[in-house]
Amino acid sequence: MLSVEHVSKVYETRRGPHKVFEDISFTLQRSRNLGILGRNGAGKSTMIRLISGAERPTTGRIRRGMRVSWPLAFAGAFAGNLTGLDNLKFICRVYGIDYKPLVPFIEDFTELGSFFREPVMHYSHGMMTRLAFALSMAIEFDCFLIDEAMIVGDARFHQRCHYELFQKRKDRAFILVSHDVNAIKTYCENAVVLHDGRLFAFPNVDAAYAFYLQTLANKPEVIEQWQM
Amino acid sequence: MATTGELSFFRSLAIQFRVLHALLMRELITRYGRDNLGVLWMVGEPMIFTLGVTALWSAAGLSHGGTGIPIVAFAVTGYSSVLMWRNATSQCSAGIEQNKPLLFHRSVLIIDVFLTRIALEVVGASSSFIFLSFFFIFIGWMPVPDNLLLVLAGWFMLAWFGSSLALLVGGGTAFSPLVHRLWHPIAYLLFPLSGAAFMVEWMPKKFQELLLYLPMVHGVELLRHGYFGSVVRTHYDIGYMAECCLVLTLCGLYVVREASRRVEF
């Protein structure tokens, strides 16, 4: 089980402390999933970073009773003069597995051809994303963190991601953050909304969606009602 | 990994080693690349520095106070010691900024990034020192060390000092970017005071006392005592240097631990 317990995150800014969110709690069981909806700047990516462990909460704690992935398709850790293969080796060394059996899958999925053995700095954005996604599939996690905004590609790429993630690994837990309700409606069994530094829980995705629409329309009086 | 992550000591140790191995291999390629000499630059770079300084000091005929120390040996022992405390610290002062995205892999911690960089610098500077010494001894420009054990002791102390300083400065950069900014001028100003280009004995008595507050001066003096034996009078107090290193190490480890709470993206 993954549990987020009374988590707050505060950043120091030039105008003093900025609270991204305060006292947020939720849990996620194995093999279950959760969508997190939120407008731009609501703190969705911050939440993903906290859950992944790259950043620490200011207060509260996050307990990971299962293997939680890094944000899917995260390409930020690529160094320009490492090749695709170097990056695969690096990740396999960190997680203590043998890289060789994975090479065929990575080559097939990324369709990089000979570029797999070229430095990443010569890659296009699409090639980078395909490699990053494939590397996320190389390690078997119990729970995937998915920031929908990071997975940008053509229809074929999306189809293949869909197959790898939601068909081949449909027994895994995941957290999907997005500002687009379609993705969440398609993949998630339940959803919460991040708004104004707080987390709003709902009995089902439709209720979350209805509330999310209100936050988009920015109607404070409606939002107040929900806070009761 | 079934429960909350209370790992046994040996499992943690295994993870520690595999993370350091992964980072080492990565750092070697990102820093030195595969073209031309590749990872040999790890030794080549400090060697070129040392050779350059040796050539300059020889040409300038640096004053020795008539002690009869061969200038080449003096430069090699001096500049190699500077590399020991300066390079690891400079590398670590940029370590967090350059490796922050790796923290998304949960077993990679800031201390791993620092340990990797320190190891690379210590190994590089040591190999350069050993290689140059062998070369110059072979062609007869440098004497054979008088007491190898003292040389090793001095080298070890300098490595300890450099490593602890690197942890402190590297961790400090998470608190304020000023630490990174200020490190370079400080390193530049410390170089002439570090004992690399002089022997403490050559300095006026009053100035000697002040110089000996700097821990690395003791390390260089010890190294040279080992190398030249009684040709020159050396001044050092290893107890004092060890105390400084111990304090630096503890502060460094504390700061690095705090740094991992402070890293932001």
> Got the DSSP string for A136-170?
HHHS--SEEEEEGGG----HHHHHHHHIIIIITTT
What pLDDT, on the 0 to 100 scale, is given for residue A227? 52
Share of chain A above pLDDT 70, in %: 96
Question: Does A65 sit within 8 Å of B106, measured CB to CB?
Answer: no
What does residue B165 show for φ and ψ, rounded to 5 degrees?
Answer: -65, -40
> What is the mean predicted confidence (pLDDT) over A104-123?
93
pTM score of the predicted model? 0.90
Q: Is the pLDDT of residue A191 over 50?
A: yes
Is A71 part of the contact surface with chain B (CB cutoff 8 Å)? yes
Nearest by CB: B26 against A53, A55, A82:
A82
Residue range B111-154, pLDDT digits in tens: 999 999 999 999 999 999 999 999 999 998 888 999 999 999 99
Is the CB of residue B15 less than 8 Å away from at least one CB of chain A? yes
Q: What is the CA radius of gyration of chain A?
A: 19
Instruction: Give which of B98, B112, B264 to mutate to test A binding, by max A Cβ within 10 Å.
Output: B264
Closest CB to A55 among B19, B107, B264? B264
Taking the C-alpha atoms of residue A53 and residue A64, their distance in angstroms, rounded to an integer, is 10
What six digits make up the tokens of A133? Answer: 């996604």
Could you tell me how many residues make up chain B? 265
Q: Check CB contact of B101 with chain A, cutoff 8 Å.
A: yes
The tokens for B208 are: 């000697």
Long-range contacts of B130-139 (CB under 8 A, 24+ apart): B131/B43, B131/B47, B132/B47, B132/B50, B132/B51, B132/B76, B132/B80, B133/B76, B136/B72, B136/B73, B136/B76
End-to-end CA separation in angstroms for chain A: 29
| C-alpha distances out from residue A38 to A4, A226, B37, B43, B237, Å | 18, 15, 51, 52, 62
Count CA atoms within 13 Å of residue A67 on its CB side: 10
- Give the mutation candidate from B7, B39, B104, B113 for the A interface (greatest A CB count, under 10 A): B104
Amino acid at residue number B139: I
Task: Answer whether B104 sits within 8 Å of A56, measured CB to CB.
Answer: no
pLDDT tens digits along B202-213: 899 999 999 999
CB contacts, 8 Å: B104 with chain A? 49, 52-54, 70-71, 74, 76-77
> What is the rounded distance in angstroms from the CA atom of residue B185 to the CA atom of residue B51?
23
Would you state the pLDDT for residue A89? 95
Contact A65 B3 (CB under 8 A): yes
Report the distance separating Cα B147 and Cα A220, nearest Å: 79
Does an H or E element contain B57, and which? helix B41-60
Give one DSSP letter per residue of B20-54, joined into a string.
HHHHHHHHHHHHH-SSTTGGGHHHHHHHHHHHHHH
Using CA of residue A136, residue A52, residue B259, residue B179, what is the dihedral sign? positive
Mean pLDDT, to the nearest integer, of A196-222?
85
User: Looking at the complex, does the CB of residue A22 fall below 8 Å from at least one CB of chain B?
Assistant: no
Are A81 and B1 a contacting pair at CB < 8 A?
A: no
3-state SS class at A48: helix
The token pair that represents A164 in the structure block? 């790898």
* Closest CA–CA distance from residue B34 to any residue of chain A (Å): 9
**Looking at CA atoms only, how far is residue A81 from chain B in angstroms?**
6
Instruction: Answer whether residue A224 shows pLDDT above 80.
Output: no
- Averaged pLDDT for residues A22-43: 92
Q: Looking at CA atoms only, how far is residue A193 from chain B in angstroms? A: 23
CB-CB neighbors (< 8 A) of A89 in chain B: 25
Instruction: Kindly report the backbone phi and psi dihedral angles of residue A46, in degrees, each rounded to the nearest multiple of 5, phi listed first.
Output: -60, -45
Q: Does the structure show a pLDDT above 50 at A178?
A: yes
Size of interface A-B (CB pairs under 8 A): 73
Positions of chain B with pLDDT lower than 70, given as ranges: 1-6, 61-68
List chain A residues with CB under 8 Å of B41.
Answer: none
**What is the residue-wise DSSP string for B131-157?**
HHHHHHHHHTSSPPPS-HHHHHHHHHH
Q: What is the pLDDT of residue B9?
A: 87
Closest CB from B30, B108, B260 relative to A94:
B108
| Gap between the Cα atoms of B201 and B215, Å rounded | 16
Regarding an ipTM greater than 0.90, the answer is: no
Q: What is the pLDDT of residue B59?
A: 80
B103 close to A (CB below 8 A): yes
